[in-house]
A and B are shown apart, each in its own frame.
Chain A
Amino acid sequence: MTTKIQCFRLCLYIGVTMKPINLRSGYLFSHFSGKTDSRIIPITIPDKLTIPLSRGYGKETPVRVKVGQKVKIGQALSGDEAVISTPVVSTVNGTVTEVQKHALVIEPDKKAGDPVWAERPGWEKSAEKEIRKLLYESGITALGKEGIPSDHKSAPIEPAGLKHIIISCIEDDIYNITWSLLLDNERAAQVLKGFALLHAAYPNAVLHFAVDKRHAALLKQAERFRRDHPWLELYAVTPRFPAHTPEILIPALLGMDMPWGYSPIHSGIIVIDIQTVLHCYEAAALGKPLGERIIALSGPGFSENPHVRVRIGTPVSHVVADYLKQGVKSRLVLNSPLMGEALTDLSRPVDLTFSQIIAVPEKPEREFLAFMRPGVRRDSYSNTFLANFMAAAKKTDTNLHGEQRPCIYCGYCEEVCPVGIIPHLIYHNVLKINVAEFLLQLKIFKCMHCNLCNYVCPVKLPLSQGILKGQQKLIEAGCDPTIGMIPYYDLDGLTEYRGRK
């Protein structure tokens, strides 16, 4: 790893500023109907906000406010520095009307508007501890998969232990937030200031900015910024799904193996997105608490596909009410059509894990001779449909598009697998046997459940679910996924199991 970084530093001297990352496995999605446009529409504050006590990473902490108490925007509602947690802050001015087991209900005071946020003087020269304190108090440290470290126990490690911060800006999924949208006009400058703030707050950490290869303008902008700030490392990444996940980004960018079953933060790495950087700027420079999120409404189930600016705590039904297509039954999916869960309870409040809501039309109707159609608007991994050679926007729906049959060993799942395992082989071995070392040998715990194998399978086998079943069986048998072996064996091979030889 160190040699790789040294090589990279050497490249700096000879003038190479951007490092291309070519991912070979994975799936390149392109041209889908229902992509988001470039608007950001603020959603009105509802009559009742339900603020969940666990919003992102961290434990639920005791509530500090009482029923009937008036709260101001940015006021801490709960918090406890003894456990790993981040305080929950109020996202509006209002009155606490109810304290539930896992949430607080706040009635917003609509007359008292938000204060005007302006850059506080001297924010650029803040000390690192001060910035981290502001991040903690505004609730940003709960973002990311395992939180962002601060001096107040917001993540499993101390800030000094943070070695790498990876900022991903890759549109690799079927539907994405249009990241470039967050980077135009004055927001671009804000994000760049956010980079500087992160660098000031974590001086030990290296900042890695992974940009979608297709965003040439953004790359140019970042390169210009890099000339004055050489601590930022810049990468142009092929947007092959699932390139935005830590499991793919960390080996590709840092050249190190991801230890299976361990979260990256134990190696001193956090992976965050652009919106988090924007929040960092707002918190540390403007003093604005984390109260709003920009969420993409994508998918053909919506009549329009704007981005919306939502207060945290707003119920999903309030967000999507104006945009859902009338007369079309749609399934709402959170964050990713491939990896995300379906939103069945629309009263669920928006929390920090939301980045987009996708409406996929349900389609139980049958199609006459569907397999014989030319398929101008059908996506497929194989090139058997015309859509792969044309630029028309492809349709999406929840139909299976085919019957389940025995595996024909076409090898598509192996070809797309981003972590290099053979999904159909593991699936068949899980069906055949209960618990076996052979499954561990096939690296079953390397699977990150990106569900690409399910997606491309022409015989519609539930490969990913089968692998999950195998993993669960192994864990039930006492196997530790971080070690990757059944406890019957002695632990000499431990370091090798983690993939670090």
Chain B
Amino acid sequence: MRFLRVLFDKMLQSKFFYPIKPVIKAADDFFFGTPLVTQKAPHILDNLDIKRYMSTVILALLPATAAAVYFFGLRAVEIIIVSYVAGGLVEVIFAVVRKKPVEEGFLVTGLIFPLVLPPTVPLWVVVVGIVFGVFFGKEVFGGTGRNIFNPALVGRLFITIAFPQIMSTAWLLPFSDAVTAATPLVMYKSTHTITPLLDLLFGNAAGSMGETFRLGIIAGGLFLMISKVSNFRIVVAYLGTVALLSYLGNMFLPASVAPPLFQLLAGGLLFGSMFMATDPVSSCYTKGGKYIFGIGCGFFTVLIRSFSGYVEGVMFSIVFMNAFAPIIDQIVVRMKFRPVARGTRGRL
């Protein structure tokens, strides 16, 4: 510990390391916390910091990650490492160029991104996806806190559209090397067979690496909501809308809309609603806006799943609603804080 302290102090002072000072500063802050004290009231501050905030998300993702490694072996570990290294490099380069501290939001992006990839994905595609996601999804807007879209989703969206062959045809069943093209949602769309719900819950179905073990995802999502890191409003609105719309749709259009319980458990809906739609930066910040955001996500998910060429709509719907989040917030704020005197020009 003392050795680290001396090392960081020397590196921060030396001219040789000046160009990569943000990186050293980030590592220093990571290990030792901050020496700053409050200047004015409030004299005491909450113990939560952004590192704790982000690492709570990682903690919540642990069951899903462990399941991915258990189901798909070392391949999953490889993909996660590649994602962290490639994305982290982009983050570090940007921090060095902008001379701003390395931001902690990447800790989550780097883990969420590999979890939504199919297990057969080539490593170079992982690199392309995460670099594109971090670069165009986050850094060009100014880093964590200023991004419009969820960076992990932007990366995933890019490679889905750019390499459809790789991304949507080669799935693996857990514990087997047999490549299949059928996820539960594909099977429903082509042959109307419903995968047993228990299989879905415990992960015995093809799908992206992190989204198969639904029990772990539910546990992690609940943990996040209880710890107040993610907001329950979006999750409740999202899942509720999907359940309601698929119930109604299945009643009137059983040919195209799947039943509600299957819809809730199949695909990436649970993972997307609990870990991606709740991203505080790219979703709405007003309480009412969060409900609208969730309802919108649910509506588009059911719409895309049932009536479009794609079998899965979670990713599209969240990115789509991300784009609308600022305007929803504006509307909610303008409705909540009305101009005091209306009707006259120049009035508030």
Instruction: List the interface of chain A (C-beta within 8 A of B).
Output: 174, 331, 333, 336-342, 360, 362-372, 375, 378-385, 396-403, 405-412, 414, 422, 424-425, 437, 440-443, 451, 454-460, 464-465, 484-485, 488-489, 492-493, 496-497
A419, chain B: closest CB distance, angstroms = 12
Residues of chain B within 8 A (CB-CB) of A375 are 47
Q: Is B144 within 8 A of A406, CB to CB?
A: yes
Residues of chain B within 8 A (CB-CB) of A366 are 32-35
Residues of chain B within 8 A (CB-CB) of A443 are 337
Contact of B348 (CB < 8 Å), options: A397, A407, A460, A489: A489
Q: Is B34 within 8 A of A403, CB to CB?
A: yes
Q: Is B44 within 8 A of A397, CB to CB?
A: yes
B223, chain A: closest CB distance, angstroms = 9
Say yes or no for B53: interface residue by CB 8 A criterion. yes
What's the Cα separation between A380 and B287 when bound, in Å? Answer: 21
What's the Cα separation between A384 and B46 when bound, in Å? Answer: 11
Q: Is B46 within 8 A of A370, CB to CB?
A: no
8 Å CB contacts to A: which residues of B319-343? Answer: 333, 337-341
Report the nearest A residue to B5, measured CB to CB: A366
- Given A333-B43, A401-B46; A408-B145 close (CB under 8 Å): yes
Contact of B285 (CB < 8 Å), options: A384, A411, A456: A411
What's the Cα separation between A236 and B280 when bound, in Å? Answer: 36
B143, chain A: closest CB distance, angstroms = 7
What's the Cα separation between A440 and B44 when bound, in Å? Answer: 29
- Given A400-B45, A457-B46; A368-B40 close (CB under 8 Å): no
A438, chain B: closest CB distance, angstroms = 8
Contact of B280 (CB < 8 Å), options: A408, A496, A497: A408
- Candidate in B52, B56, B104 with the most chain A CB atoms within 10 angstroms: B52
Residues of chain A within 8 A (CB-CB) of B347 are 489, 493
Say yes or no for B51: interface residue by CB 8 A criterion. yes
Q: Is B50 within 8 A of A402, CB to CB?
A: yes
Q: Is A422 within 8 A of B286, CB to CB?
A: yes
Contact of B55 (CB < 8 Å), options: A372, A451, A492: A372
- 18 further A-B contacts with Cβ under 8 Å, apart from A400-B38, A406-B103, are A339-B41, A360-B44, A365-B35, A380-B47, A381-B48, A382-B227, A398-B38, A401-B45, A402-B45, A402-B51, A403-B29, A405-B145, A407-B145, A408-B145, A410-B280, A422-B286, A455-B45, A456-B48
What's the Cα separation between A362 and B143 when bound, in Å? Answer: 33
Residues of chain B within 8 A (CB-CB) of A493 are 340-341, 347-348
- Given A368-B1, A368-B31; A402-B41 close (CB under 8 Å): no
Residues of chain A within 8 A (CB-CB) of B337 are 441-443
What's the Cα separation between A465 and B41 when bound, in Å? Answer: 9
Contact of A484 (CB < 8 Å), options: B47, B48, B340, B346: B340
Say yes or no for B49: interface residue by CB 8 A criterion. yes
Contact of B46 (CB < 8 Å), options: A333, A414, A424, A456: A456
Q: Is B46 within 8 A of A458, CB to CB?
A: yes
Residues of chain A within 8 A (CB-CB) of B43 are 331, 333, 337-338, 340, 342, 360, 398
Q: Is B50 within 8 A of A455, CB to CB?
A: no
What's the Cα separation between A456 and B36 when bound, in Å? Answer: 17
B116, chain A: closest CB distance, angstroms = 21
Contact of B48 (CB < 8 Å), options: A382, A397, A465: A382
What's the Cα separation between A145 and B143 when bound, in Å? Answer: 46
- Given A382-B53, A443-B337; A409-B285 close (CB under 8 Å): yes
| 15 A-B residue pairs with CB within 8 Å | A338-B43, A339-B41, A339-B42, A363-B37, A370-B32, A371-B52, A378-B47, A380-B48, A398-B37, A398-B44, A399-B34, A399-B36, A406-B142, A451-B42, A458-B52
Q: Which 3 A-B pairs have CB atoms at the shortest separation, nearest pair first?
A: A402-B49, A493-B341, A406-B145
Residues of chain A within 8 A (CB-CB) of B259 are none
B141, chain A: closest CB distance, angstroms = 11
What's the Cα separation between A459 and B340 when bound, in Å? Answer: 32
What's the Cα separation between A398 and B45 when bound, in Å? Answer: 7
What's the Cα separation between A28 and B30 when bound, in Å? Answer: 30
Report the nearest A residue to B145, measured CB to CB: A406
8 Å CB contacts to A: which residues of B287-339? Answer: 287, 333, 337-339
Say yes or no for B228: interface residue by CB 8 A criterion. yes
What's the Cα separation between A341 and B41 when bound, in Å? Answer: 6
Q: Is A337 within 8 A of B29, CB to CB?
A: no
Residues of chain B within 8 A (CB-CB) of A385 are 47-48, 52
Q: Is B35 within 8 A of A410, CB to CB?
A: no
What's the Cα separation between A401 and B56 when bound, in Å? Answer: 16
Instruction: List the interface of chain B (C-beta within 8 A of A).
Output: 1, 29, 31-38, 40-53, 55-56, 101, 103-105, 142-146, 226-229, 231, 280-281, 285-287, 333, 337-341, 344, 346-348
Q: Is A382 within 8 A of B229, CB to CB?
A: yes
- Given A371-B55, A409-B281, A410-B53; A400-B34 close (CB under 8 Å): yes
Contact of A337 (CB < 8 Å), options: B42, B146, B229: B42
Q: Is A364 within 8 A of B1, CB to CB?
A: no
Q: Is B46 within 8 A of A455, CB to CB?
A: yes
What's the Cα separation between A161 and B47 when bound, in Å? Answer: 47
B2, chain A: closest CB distance, angstroms = 10
Residues of chain B within 8 A (CB-CB) of A484 are 340
B58, chain A: closest CB distance, angstroms = 11
What's the Cα separation between A489 and B340 when bound, in Å? Answer: 12
- Given A338-B44, A493-B347; A441-B101 close (CB under 8 Å): no
Residues of chain A within 8 A (CB-CB) of B285 are 409, 411, 414, 422, 424-425
A361, chain B: closest CB distance, angstroms = 10
Contact of A384 (CB < 8 Å), options: B44, B45, B229: B229
Contact of B41 (CB < 8 Å), options: A379, A437, A441, A451: A451
- Candidate in A372, A402, A493 with the most chain B CB atoms within 10 angstroms: A402
Contact of A441 (CB < 8 Å), options: B51, B144, B348: B348
What's the Cα separation between A400 and B46 when bound, in Å? Answer: 8
What's the Cα separation between A137 and B45 when bound, in Å? Answer: 42
- Candidate in B41, B56, B103, B344 with the most chain A CB atoms within 10 angstroms: B41
What's the Cα separation between A489 and B42 when bound, in Å? Answer: 36
- Candidate in A397, A406, A424 with the most chain B CB atoms within 10 angstroms: A406
Residues of chain A within 8 A (CB-CB) of B40 are 342, 465
Residues of chain B within 8 A (CB-CB) of A488 are 346
What's the Cα separation between A194 and B226 when bound, in Å? Answer: 46
Report the nearest B residue to A498, measured CB to CB: B340
- Given A371-B33, A441-B337; A384-B56 close (CB under 8 Å): yes
Q: Is A401 within 8 A of B47, CB to CB?
A: yes
Residues of chain A within 8 A (CB-CB) of B29 are 403
What's the Cα separation between A460 and B48 when bound, in Å? Answer: 9
What's the Cα separation between A370 and B341 when bound, in Å? Answer: 50
Residues of chain B within 8 A (CB-CB) of A337 are 41-44
Q: Is B348 within 8 A of A383, CB to CB?
A: no
- Candidate in B105, B285, B338 with the most chain A CB atoms within 10 angstroms: B285
What's the Cα separation between A38 and B142 when bound, in Å? Answer: 54
- Given A407-B145, A411-B280, A424-B285; A455-B348 close (CB under 8 Å): no
What's the Cα separation between A384 and B56 when bound, in Å? Answer: 7
Report the nearest B residue to A368, measured CB to CB: B1
A447, chain B: closest CB distance, angstroms = 13
Residues of chain A within 8 A (CB-CB) of B49 are 371, 401-403, 458-460
